Amino acid sequence: MENHGPKPIRCKAAVCRAAGEPLAIEEIVVDPPKEHEVRIRIICTSLCHSDVTFWRMKDFPGIFPRIFGHEAFGVVESVGEHVEEFAAGDAVVPTFLGQCSECVDCRSARSNMCSKYRFAVRPGMPRDGTTRFSDAQGRPLHHFLGVSSFAEYTVVDVNHAVKVNPAMPPALACLLSCGASTGVGAAWKLAKVEPGSSVAIFGLGAVGLAVAEGARICGASKIIGVDINPDKYELGKKFGMTHFINPKELGEKPVYQAIVEMTDGGADYCFECIGLAALMNDAFQSSREGWGKTIILGVEMHGAPLAVSSHEILRGKSVIGSMFGGVKPKQDIPILADKYLNKELELDKFITHEVGLNDINEAFDLLLQGKSVRCTIWMDR
């Protein structure tokens, strides 16, 4: 019998064939979605520091050739068998963190880590491990974080797609796919920042600035940004930052001492958004005795362990790890979209640059030079 289901699609993608090498625009083939999968036409995507981290990685889980990208907005083009949640034409954002909505963790308010389909940096699809991409010669191309959005079309598992209000501007919906949700969620969902509280944020990249935005929405009265880039002072103020510390300008004084003095005993909430064990320790030492919380958002870039004083732990301080800022994708991303549409959440200020897919390497240059917060990459330009 004739097969009337979805057919393979030929399209363009930015392919990385070796660690640290510029991406090449190639024609690829994207297979139809299998069971419990959807194929998405990507409208726009953006570059996140996690893409850069794995782009540089020479050893596993760095694996090539690969299609990077995990922060995006698109429209469902077709669905595989047993897909009831989505239909062609739905506006969606893909997410690196899945939500099955069935396991004990997905059903609990205490976790956003699906235990049925656990998070892992895989080279293929989460259920069967195979790829839906091949190059013009028919050779397989690897996936990235279950998304691979640096392509005009991609295939994702239903657990890794979230419907969003089509009234959301595509470039801003894209931000909710990773960075903005991670930072805002860390303040709102995980730390539960209270009105009038003090917050210290170590690292004012996109995630750190999103933490500031989340703390502003929650009503924090003192939002301290810590960064060695002096340009982040003016930028941070746009996101609600009230005070700025450049550790290079403190002389011999440790940064945690400056924060303790500014907050009369330590910040109520400290967020580490870089990924350095030394900064994680600084954040912990900057938190208040009795109830200070330190939230770790950065992945330690050298694999170093976190070491904190057991005496300070006994004084009521705590350290919390965070994946995706505690956000449950299918539950919380639509809430954040509504907050934007209701003018509570400000997203426009995150986008500093825009390029077309053909100029995607320019987005890498801008991020590596510290010139961009988020660079939107449009597929049709």
Q: 105 lies in a domain? A: no
Do 293 and 233 sit in the same domain of this protein? yes
> Is the same domain home to 187 and 254?
yes
Tell me if 232 is assigned to some domain.
yes
* Judgement on whether residues 261 and 360 belong to the same structural domain of the protein: no
CATH of the domain at 321: 3.40.50.720
189, 309: one domain: yes
Tokens 């057919």 sit at which residue? Answer: 7
Per-residue pLDDT reduced to its tens digit, 288-346? 999 999 999 988 888 899 999 888 899 999 999 989 999 999 999 999 999 999 999 99
pLDDT for res 60: 82
315 and 188, same structural domain?
A: yes
Clarify whether residues 300 and 368 are in a common domain.
Answer: no
Instruction: Say yes or no to pLDDT of 3 above 70.
Output: no
**Is residue 376 a part of any domain in this protein?**
yes
Does residue 317 lie in a domain region? yes
137 within domain boundaries: no
Judge whether residue 2 has pLDDT over 60.
no
The per-residue pLDDT for range 197-224, each reduced to its tens digit, is 999 999 999 999 999 999 999 999 999 9
Q: To the nearest whole number, what is the mean pLDDT of the chain? A: 96
Residue type, 121: V
The pLDDT tens digits for 250-262 are 999 999 999 999 9
256 in the same domain as 203: yes
Asked if pLDDT for residue 5 goes beyond 80, the answer is yes
138 in any annotated domain: no
Are 219 and 313 found together in one domain? yes
The total number of structural domains that make up the chain: 2
Is the per-residue pLDDT at 1 higher than 80?
A: no
pLDDT for residue 367: 95
Q: Which token pair is 229?
A: 């880039």
- Whole domain around residue 371: which residue ranges? 348-380
232 and 319 in a single domain? The answer is yes
pLDDT band at 4 (very low <50, low <70, confident <90, very high): confident
**Pair (370, 241) in one structural domain:** no
Same-domain pairing of 366 and 309: no
The residue assigned the tokens 């959005």 is 149
Residues 191 and 302 in one domain: yes
Q: For CA atoms 243, 229, 184, 350, give the dihedral sign.
A: positive
